[in-house]
Structure 1
Amino acid sequence: MSDTTVESAEATHTLSPRTLTVKIRTLTPLWTGGVDGTMDRIHETGILGSLRWWYEAIVRGLGGYACDPTEHTCTFDTNKYQGSEAPDKRQRLRDAGLCDVCQIFGATGWRRRFRLEVRPLEGGIDFTEGMFPSGRVHPDRRRPYRVGGWLLRGGYFGTLELHFTGEERILLCEILPTLLFIEKWGALGPKTSIGYGIIEITRLQIGEETYSPTHHDWHAQLSELVSQSCQGSRVGRWWFEGLSTSSPYQGVLPVLTNMFSSKVRFKVTDLNWWSEFREIQWLQVGQIGVDEAHWTGKQDQTPTGPFKIANPLSVSRIEHWVRYHKTFPLAPIVRTRLRYSDSNIGVCTDSNGESDWCKFIFGTVHGNEPICGYCGTKVKKDRNDQNRWWCSKGRVSLANNEVFSGKRIQSKVRVSWAYQIGDSEWEFRVWGWLPEHAQSARHRQQREEFLRTLKTSIGALSQLSPLSQLQISPECWVAKQENGETSHFLMTLLTGCP
């Protein structure tokens, strides 16, 4: 049975095709990637990949099944589909080899259930590229030193429309709630760890009907519209009705119930507030002074400073972003403060340099030998079972899918650029996820200590210059506590920070 035949056979169980158009304003630049690491246009693939990542995390948190897309385990089997006796189409598709996410986003033998067209409106792509320094200076084999930092690119600034076409149930009950969740708590597209992708939804058009977030009861209007369509949808019923199932996923993949988020707001009285950061002053002169730099190599091999910044990011371009796009690349600054300040949030130093835990929390570009997917500790084969692994930190045996091997470790902590939300008020987000091992008390304790320290460290940012002059205050903190009720946390995500 072909994919088309399957759709025909199930015609009586699907709703008519419909359109969903979501108008978006970028609060921080949107990045979707492209050829050779550049961005020549807004690529739908970057949007789709991000939507899928978030949808996977939400589905896992609500008790559904989402495969690891990097393993390519989902493949549609026609014979198994035909042989399934399940009365529900979704269960028949699962019997045929598709997880809940691949049923929507596609897999081998099964195409995606919706189409996406991106329509840029007012705005454009900024092709700026340059190094934003961290203040750390590293040894280098080919030259005396290398100034560390982040390569920042402009990305897309402005407004755009995401135009979806597909079954009504999928658009309203799966795609729309995912986008609304991203707007409220997360970010859209790649490069979210360094602040890209914060969006604001300014208008929704469902078929011929238009909905505006400025309308005081627009959420109630949407809930009434989709109440009948979403009866069989975990995601739709949770977002629009506050109903959720139990038994969320337990493992190392991103999941809604292991996420945390904070929104931090500050007020400014000086239009040039952003220029007071030491990183901006380094960019202005193109170098870092000896007394300000942190040399990461052996002390007796410290090179003579000052340390020149290769390809520094243009300060005039940063000023343009602040003045015209109302956003500032605060993410690298906050990430450096969190990772290397006295808060020691990631316990980032030990006798051998950066600790495994620190690299696990904040990420590393270097491949590692097999590590625990819950804490980053190097693991060895379990002596009692050679098909499993042993984590000495958590004192627990791990399955193969709980271990990372030879992979780049992505940061668990994401920080957005700062963006203006009022005449003199700005905001930035700190969010992320950290896996929780249900059977390891040590892992659970380490996770709880991390969350407590992170929350404290975010509050302590107000004491660091020049943030201390900006009347900074955390607006909210949302994270599931070790003994907290899952249902309560899921409800908090619906009713939490504005």
Structure 2
Amino acid sequence: MEAIVKLKPLTPIWTGDAGRKCRMIRETGIIGSLRWWYEALIRGLGGEACDPTKSKCNGQSRCGVCELFGCTGWARRFKLDVREVKKDFAPFFIVKPNSSKRASFLGYYDKSGQSWEKNGGLLGEYELRITAKDEAILNTIKFLLKLSCDWGIGSGTQRGFGISLIDNDLQLQKPDIRIEQLNNPSSNLPRMDQFFFYKIPIVNIEALDLIIKEICEGLYITKKSPLSSFDFARYNYLPTAPWVRRAIRELFRDNDVLRHYLMGFISDGNTKPIHLSCWRHLIEKKDKEKNKTYYVCPKCRKKRVHDENMLKKTGSKIFVSHIYNKNAFKGNVEPEWVMKVWGWIPDLPSGIGETRQDVEEKLQENLKKEEFWLRCFGIKENPVDINGIEEVWDVDIEKLLTNGGEVL
């Protein structure tokens, strides 16, 4: 059994190699993304999906996800090959919105700045060939491709990458997913029944021009080389995700731990690890005699907090697409500009001081408010059709499976 999927990126796809560059769509990057979505789906249905970074699955005992995607001693039950039909590259940008403390690197950073026009991920057209022995497995992989291409495939989906068009009829049927229900499904890993999705239409073309002007004021090709202007006419997207992420981060400015937990962080010189017992950022101390650093908790006063009781990094739980033209591959059709915001809000530890419901209400209130979008891009005209915003919270997975992966 096999199927061909015609994939056309609407925002750049990133599947990096060992050198952190992206010169081709790597099958491993696509498969890893499909696995992530399948894990969330299985957990949302109440089944077991291991954390692959800590998995003990093997050829004798394996979770439902490893059954399909493979693990030590058990082969993956499908094959995926990529063929380049028309390869194109997206430009690399360093993006620094006004008032942002840190810049976002959209692609591979070449300090010389000589190859920036090809270092921002992949555009173009591609064919994915899926081969499986079983029609049910083939249908499940097609379903996962549909879901991931609609919302984010590959890496960097929190920074605008990975929205793609599937340009052929997949002839999807409802996936046949059989799981063993757990009494206590995992709550600290992504699960689809806790996901939210927003589709946000951009209808004010004059405001879109103002956004382009604002973007150009925050673009660099090296840390010391600003790019004061850029012709976006040949591209189907605008690199706006860092502006939207900054605006969302600002919603949680009064709670550093919650903000870092939702938007992702890596402990470094500025941001310290989080104490998992108290949910407070730790304070770094210096042991002068041993010439080593250690951490203390400012809340419980515990000294020398051990690694196993601290959170040193976490990925973003909120993802933002760039603004893109959804009609880019539809021939002589007027552009239709949209963006997407989506993510997973888990049940929050009581020590954080806010609940999952608090986060949901804050996002619902602000993402549908004109003032949020004016502040987001620093412009005086609202680009968003507020009444046209579509949203769904706490996904009905049975409906998702029946509708062929259509969330909105």
Q: TM-score range by the shorter chain?
A: 0.7 to 0.9
Considering Cα pairs closer than 8 Å and 6+ residues apart, tell me whether 1 or 2 has the greater RCO: 2
Query: One-letter code of the match for 1:478?
Result: V
Q: 1:53, 1:327 → 2: CA distance?
A: 25
Which residue of 1 is the match for residue 303 of structure 2?
none
Query: One-letter code of the match for 1:98?
Result: R
- C-alpha distance 330-41 of structure 1, shift in aligned 2 (>3 A): same
Identity, % of aligned positions: 28
Query: One-letter code of the match for 2:319?
Result: R
Q: Deviations over 1:8-46 (max 9, x none)?
A: xxxxxxxxxx11211111111111001321112221111
Q: 1:247, 1:444 → 2: CA distance?
A: 27
Q: Identify unmatched segments of 5+ residues in structure 2.
A: 108-119, 283-296, 300-307, 328-333
Query: One-letter code of the match for 2:390?
Result: C
Give 1:157 shift: 0.7
Number of residue equivalences: 358
Q: 1:248, 1:417 → 2: CA distance?
A: 37
Query: One-letter code of the match for 1:410?
Result: G
Q: 2:298, 2:44 → 1: CA distance?
A: 28
Which runs of structure 2 are paired with 1:114-263 in the superposition (5 Å)? 114-126=78-90, 128-136=91-99, 148-153=102-107, 154-184=120-150, 186-203=151-168, 212=169, 222-223=172-173, 231=176, 233-234=177-178, 249-263=185-199
Give 1:476 shift: 1.1
Give 1:172 shift: 2.9
Q: Deviations over 1:176-200 (max 9, x none)?
A: 221122234x200000010100011
Q: 1:404, 1:59 → 2: CA distance?
A: 28
- C-alpha distance 491-372 of structure 1, shift in aligned 2 (>3 A): farther
Query: Which deviates more, 264-273 or 324-333?
Result: 264-273
Give 1:268 shift: 3.7
Which residue of 2 is the match for residue 289 of structure 1?
none
Which residue of 1 is the match for residue 291 of structure 2?
none
- C-alpha distance 183-246 of structure 1, shift in aligned 2 (>3 A): farther
Give 1:160 shift: 0.8
- 1:325 matched to 2:235? The reply is yes
From 344, 364, 371, the equivalent of 2:265 is 364
Give 1:490 shift: 4.7
From 259, 275, 281, the equivalent of 2:217 is 281
Give 1:67 shift: 0.5
- C-alpha distance 75-202 of structure 1, shift in aligned 2 (>3 A): same
Q: 1:492, 1:175 → 2: CA distance?
A: 15
TM-score by length of 2: 0.77
Give 1:281 shift: 2.2
Q: Identify unmatched segments of 5+ residues in structure 1.
A: 1-17, 77-95, 139-147, 204-211, 236-243, 287-308, 380-390, 394-402, 481-485
Give 1:421 shift: 2.5
Give 1:136 shift: 4.0
Asked whether the 8 Å contact 1:132–1:312 carries over to 2, the reply is no
- C-alpha distance 161-376 of structure 1, shift in aligned 2 (>3 A): farther
Asked whether the 8 Å contact 1:195–1:331 carries over to 2, the reply is yes
Which residue of 2 is the match for residue 12 of structure 1?
none
Q: 2:397, 2:36 → 1: CA distance?
A: 20
Give 1:492 shift: 6.4
Asked whether the 8 Å contact 1:62–1:248 carries over to 2, the reply is no
Which runs of structure 2 are paired with 1:289-304 in the superposition (5 Å)? none
Asked whether the 8 Å contact 2:279–2:351 carries over to 1, the reply is no
Asked whether the 8 Å contact 1:60–1:248 carries over to 2, the reply is no
Query: One-letter code of the match for 1:426?
Result: W
Give 1:134 shift: 3.0
Asked whether the 8 Å contact 1:122–1:160 carries over to 2, the reply is yes
TM-score by length of 1: 0.64
Query: One-letter code of the match for 2:216?
Result: I
Q: 1:314, 1:454 → 2: CA distance?
A: 33
Which residue of 1 is the match for residue 288 of structure 2?
none
Q: 1:330, 1:134 → 2: CA distance?
A: 9
Give 1:366 shift: 1.7
From 35, 44, 47, the equivalent of 1:52 is 35
Say which SS state the counterpart of residue 34 (structure 1) adopts: coil
- C-alpha distance 406-469 of structure 1, shift in aligned 2 (>3 A): closer
Query: One-letter code of the match for 1:109?
Result: G
Which runs of structure 2 are paired with 1:41-80 in the superposition (5 Å)? 41-76=24-59
Which runs of structure 2 are paired with 1:410-429 in the superposition (5 Å)? 410-422=315-327, 423-429=334-340
- C-alpha distance 311-165 of structure 1, shift in aligned 2 (>3 A): farther
Asked whether the 8 Å contact 2:43–2:191 carries over to 1, the reply is yes
Which residue of 2 is the match for residue 109 of structure 1?
73
Q: 1:337, 1:280 → 2: CA distance?
A: 18
Q: 2:225, 2:203 → 1: CA distance?
A: 28
Which residue of 2 is the match for residue 409 of structure 1?
314
Which residue of 2 is the match for residue 36 of structure 1?
19
CA-atom RMSD in angstroms: 3.4
Query: One-letter code of the match for 2:50?
Result: C
Indicate the structure with greater helix content: 1
Asked whether the 8 Å contact 1:361–1:412 carries over to 2, the reply is yes
Which residue of 1 is the match for residue 365 of structure 2?
456
- C-alpha distance 333-493 of structure 1, shift in aligned 2 (>3 A): farther
Query: One-letter code of the match for 1:133?
Result: K
Give 1:455 shift: 1.7
Q: 1:492, 1:452 → 2: CA distance?
A: 23
- C-alpha distance 392-264 of structure 1, shift in aligned 2 (>3 A): farther
